[in-house]
């Protein structure tokens, strides 16, 4: 049986593979386990346009379902500026670059004890 930590890591791996496959840009993930009751990881990515943001999210939702993570909650898909997907162990924020720069949520979560990783 898969532990909660293993399930969270597997979910993170699925999310990262999906957003990379969708050509998301500036992929950052934060380990917030023990820092927040919301999730273990937060992933923040950018899409080039509203259409790209929506496509990243739709592809991610499909991949998460295919990998057995069920249905995630999603907000903001209709506008495509800032979409939040709550996948339980992982919360994903998909932004248009201008909106991401304005809200700068990575900075809000940046603290000495929060581990941040950037994918290249």
CATH architecture of 4-118: 2-Layer Sandwich (3.30)
What pTM was estimated for this model as a whole?
0.88
At residue 15's C-alpha, the angle toward residues 18 and 118, to 5°, is: 95
C-beta separation of 79 from 50 below 8 A = yes
Q: How far apart are CA 71 and CA 14, in angstroms?
A: 14
Q: What is the pLDDT of residue 71?
A: 82
Ramachandran angles phi, psi of 15, nearest 5°: -60, -50
Q: Which residues of the chain, if any, have pLDDT below 50?
A: none
Which pLDDT value is given to residue 119? 61
Q: Which residues share a beta bridge with 118?
A: 28
């Amino acid at each position: 049986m898969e532990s909660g930590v293993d399930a969270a890591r597997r979910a993170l791996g699925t999310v990262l593979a999906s957003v990379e496959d969708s050509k998301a840009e500036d992929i950052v993930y934060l380990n917030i386990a023990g820092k927040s009751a919301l999730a273990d990881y937060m992933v923040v990515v950018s899409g080039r346009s509203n259409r790209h943001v929506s496509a990243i999210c739709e592809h991610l939702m499909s991949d998460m379902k295919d990998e057995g993570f069920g249905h995630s909650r999603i907000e903001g898909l209709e506008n495509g500026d800032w979409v939040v997907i709550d996948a339980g162990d992982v919360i994903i924020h998909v932004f248009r670059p201008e909106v991401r720069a304005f809200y700068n949520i990575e900075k809000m979560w940046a603290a000495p004890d929060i581990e941040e990783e950037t994918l290249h």
